[in-house]
Every structure is written in structure tokens, then in C-alpha cells.
Amino acid sequence: MSDAIVSGMDRSLELILCKNGNPLTKAAFVDTARFLFNTEDKTSLLAEKVLKVCVDDLRAGKNASIGWPLYLEQAVALVLDAHAKDVDFDCIQSDVLEVLLQNDNEEVVLKTLLWMNDTKSAFVPTSKLRQTLRDLICQEKWDGVCALALRVIPGVLGNGEQEFDLGECIRGYHGNQVLPVREGWIAVAGFAARTVSLLYNDVDIRNT
């Protein structure tokens, strides 16, 4: 049965994903493709075709169509599943996380941050990724995004790196009255304090 489903979806992909104007139909198609991708070994070619369309749509920016946010949620879920499996798809480029974090849809950004906050999720921290996270922390329209970005950023810093000093953490804490955001600043402050402590101990050891 799964062979027939995959074959049928492959034949209808162009019509439903590329030429279809109904995002709810696109969302259902992507959700099915994601299920098959996570349960069947024989769907890699179909998944790659669907992923390419999803990544292109996620890069494209705003779309006012009713149902488009739901489609993007399904699209980002498939992209992150593929990223987590470390599959060798050309459409999953090294900057895909930055693309997702820069999306105009709040749910896309939140899903990506939640995935990054999962300790089982593996990704390569880059200077561009850190700058993107800093931009999310400094934006003022999405409190939940700010709070999650604060929790994620210590995980993308290497030894001795510090995106925010303790003074910035204190100002961020006092400047935000939203509890999750304030808790996020505490988490970053703890990381900054540990970093300073480690650097101090390292210098102290070298001088003895």
C-alpha cells in the first residue's frame, strides 16, 4: 500500500504543491510526506522533492492566503525532521536554520527554536546563527520568541564566547516584565557568569 501512496504522491506533487493555490491542501500533502519520510525507507526521493518546495516557500516570505501559516508549520516540521536525520539533500543547505529563524511567521520561528533547545538536536553554531538569535532577542513583537532565543543562545556559544555580558543581562532582566523573558535573561546571565569564572580560573592557573 505504501508503494502505491508514494507513487501517487510523486505523480501529483507538481499539481498539489507547485500549482495548487490552496495552502490547506498543500499542508495535508506535506504532513503525509513527513509521515512517510519518518516511517518508510523508500521515500527519500519524494521527500527531497517536497522539501525543495517547502524550503523555497519558507524563503519566499509573507503570504496572506488563509491557511498559509498552517502550511508553513507543516513545512518547517518536515525540514527540521530532515535536518535532524542529517540526510544528504541539496535543498537542506547550511543556512537553513537561519532561514527558518528569519521567517515572518511566529510559529515557524518558535518551532525552530524549540527544536534547537532540544538537547538531542544537533546543529553547527555559526557567527551568522548567533547574530540571528541576537536579533530575535532584541525584537519586541514576540515575547515567546525572545524567551526561547535567550535559552537557546548559550548552546550555540563555544568556550570563552559571550554574546551578552552581565551588564546587558541585568538590563535585559530589569527591562522586561514578561516572566519567561526575565527567566531567559537569568539563564543567559548564569552562562555569562560561568564563562567569566572559567576564564578567570584559566588565567589564574597559567599564572601559578
DSSP assignment string, 20-54: ---HHHHHHHHHHHHHHHHH-SS-HHHHHHHHHHH
Residue type, 132: T
Pick the range with the lowest mean pLDDT from 41-55, 59-73, 135-149, 183-197: 183-197
What average pLDDT does range 57-79 have in this prediction?
88
Dist CA 118 CA 136 (whole Å): 18
pLDDT of res. 158: 60
Q: Give the pTM.
A: 0.81
Through-space distance between the first and last CA atoms of the chain, rounded to whole angstroms: 71
Which of 88-102, 177-191, 194-208 comes out lowest in average pLDDT?
A: 194-208
b/e code 31-40 from CB counts within 10 Å (16+ = b): bebbebbeee
Q: Which amino acid is at 122?
A: A
The answer to whether 114 and 121 are in contact (CB under 8 A) is no
CA 93, 151, 147, 174: dihedral to nearest 10 degrees?
-140
pLDDT confidence of residue 139: 86
Domain map (residue ranges) of the chain: 1-93, 124-208
